[in-house]
Amino acid sequence: MAVAVADARPVATLVEAVPAADPAPLGLAGFALTTFLLSGHNATFIPDLIWIGPALFYGGTVQILAGMWEFRNRNVFGATAFSTYGAFWLALGIFVSLIVLSKNWSGAVTANPHDVPNALAWFLAAFAIFNLYMLLGSTRVSGAVFMVFLTLQITLVLLAIGFFLEAHGHPNNGWTHAGGWVGILTAACAWYASAAGVVNGMSAPKVVLPVGAALWGPRKAKA
């Protein structure tokens, strides 16, 4: 009796030939707008809480999507940066939203009046650690991206110091206010990098808005 035996053949891997559009301008724009709104509040000229909606959707959800698309483009730096800062905005927006909307949550985190500024200080300090090695990595991307991470590093450090001082009985110490103004500069740098990505992408191969060369060594080419 004949026995039919199926051929053992490897499953073919399909590779999409058409590259995805560059998600970096979108991620930078979401980061810039949300940073501007919160920094404007810290600098005392924008009312509080207006930044929460953008933090949850534009700076948060949209930036995470940009990070996922950067994975598709095999850009480890962009994927890590956008995904992390999208999560940053979602986490911060939800934390403040729960304080405003939930009596149980608010009561738990504000039982000690120093807990909220202390928690925010540690939150910002943790992201300053992450941002430090991303700042080093940005030196291999472009001058514009390096400026985004440099100003962001200064912003995070200033705000962390300000909230630590507030938690230890020194409100309105000026550090948070200074962090707000440097945050506005961070937003301006991110908006410029985003605009450069849009305009230069539409004008390729002509460069309309220069972003500056990497500070050292080209970034490893995508596989």
Q: What is the pLDDT of residues 156-169, one digit of tens each?
A: 999 999 999 999 99
Position 61 scores a pLDDT of 98
Distance CA(103)–CA(6), nearest Å, equals 64
Calculate the average pLDDT of the chain. 92
What is the rounded average pLDDT of the residues 108-120?
A: 94
Q: How far apart are the first and last CA of the chain?
A: 51
Cβ(37)–Cβ(54) under 8 Å? Answer: yes
- Which pTM was predicted? 0.89
pLDDT band at 222 (very low <50, low <70, confident <90, very high): very low
pLDDT tier for residue 1 given thresholds of 50, 70 and 90: very low
Instruction: In whole angstroms, give the CA distance from residue 178 to residue 42.
Output: 8
Contact 65, 52 (CB under 8 A): no
Which whole number is the average pLDDT over 175-184? 98
